[in-house]
Amino acid sequence: MPENPQPTAADSGAGAPDDVARVEAVMAEPVSRGEPILSVRNLVKHFPLTQGIVFRRQVGAVRAVDGVSFDLHQGETLGIVGESGCGKSTVAKLLMNLERPTAGEVLYKGEDITRLSGRALKAVRRNIQMVFQDPYTSLNPRMTVGDIIGEPFDIHPDVAPRGDRRRKVQELLDVVGLNPEYINRYPHQFSGGQRQRIGIARGLALNPEIIICDEPVSALDVSVQAQVINLMEKLQDEFNLSYMFIAHDLSVVRHISDRVAVMYLGKVVEVGTDQEIYEHPTHPYTQALLSAVPVPDPSGRDQRERIVLTGDVPSPANPPSGCRFRTRCWKAEERCAAEIPLLAVPERFKDSDTPAAHESACHFAEEKDVVHA
């Protein structure tokens, strides 16, 4: 990489120049086998609630993300599910460093990216890209497809030399299944599914290692959803990508994910392989969530047992004490209000070899047969 002779203002926060060089070196290295490519440790994000105009004082905080930890391995897909407002999109923004966390760390290849800024951060961002939910608002209507997909090259000119960009963009269009001759068209000339392909091409432009997908198919029609999911799986095999796949459609998450984390009110309540979560859920919230999913098969619909939760998700500005799910939980006892359950393999399953032995944050974790998504 050519050295920049004139350090810009933004660089000053990055610390000593050798620090930058070190980070850049780390980023270029392949991740060692068995090590997670991304580890999140006790991530916390509180948005302050303030009162007053001249004398602003903080009166509280929305605890959007409150102590989230997980690992992501190379070539793996981690699904994150949960209701709206549970903090899944905030986690995505924290991983992209679009928001600074209140506490906790995001380790990418062992480097805490929440402390980086300037050039070091730029080097990290090249490897972590994002695909957004709504392909109608995430593409600039005044830019051509070529400009949109080529824009990452303006920011990271070392990836594609100037003369080579058009060819690169056309290659990317071909990879995502669009006609390379569409390079001069505008987003409005495409359908929803095609636009999402453009968003994916933009995410791929810098050859990232991790792609964070925030509800990538929920704005699409059913028949087009399958096309985009297939494309994403194909690209994962081809480029050995790691996905973080955020969605509220549980059957889509199950199809694409190797492991799944379930979030509720800013916390991960259960995490495990897709089989463990969908076939052997032990947390009551996961069980309720799964049983609420309508099954596209009418046979036996009248016999189906369904857990219907009452009420709404409590406000994250004032979450319940102890277990956050206790206000809607049918198992709740006094202990749940007093003690915060830790995310760990439940005691009773600890030594057994059953699929129920996975991390679940409930005092009374047990298996319950629910209808599967």
- 3-state SS assignment for residue 57: strand
CA–CA distance, 48 with 46 (Å, rounded to integer): 6
CA–CA distance, 326 with 336 (Å, rounded to integer): 6
Q: Which is nearer to another protein, 210 or 252 (CB)?
A: 252
Q: Which is nearer to another protein, 6 or 303 (CB)?
A: 303
Distance of closest approach, residue 329 Cβ to another protein, in angstroms = 7
Footprint of another protein (CB under 8 A): 83-84, 191, 193-194, 221-227, 229-230, 233, 248, 250-252, 254-256, 274, 288-289, 292-299, 301-312, 327-330, 332, 372
Distance of closest approach, residue 38 Cβ to another protein, in angstroms = 23
Q: Which is nearer to another protein, 109 or 368 (CB)?
A: 368
Distance of closest approach, residue 296 Cβ to another protein, in angstroms = 4
End-to-end CA distance of the chain: 48
Q: Which is nearer to another protein, 156 or 248 (CB)?
A: 248
> Cα 61 to the chain's mean position, in Å?
23
Type and span of the H or E element at 148: helix 145-155
Distance of closest approach, residue 309 Cβ to another protein, in angstroms = 5
Q: Which is nearer to another protein, 174 or 312 (CB)?
A: 312
Distance of closest approach, residue 60 Cβ to another protein, in angstroms = 18
Q: Which of 30, 29, 32, 5 is nearest to 17 (CA)?
A: 5
Token look-up 């599967």 returns 372
Spell out the residues 6+ positions from residue 216 whose beta carbon is closer than 8 angstroms to its own: 131, 132, 133, 196, 199, 200, 228, 232, 245, 247
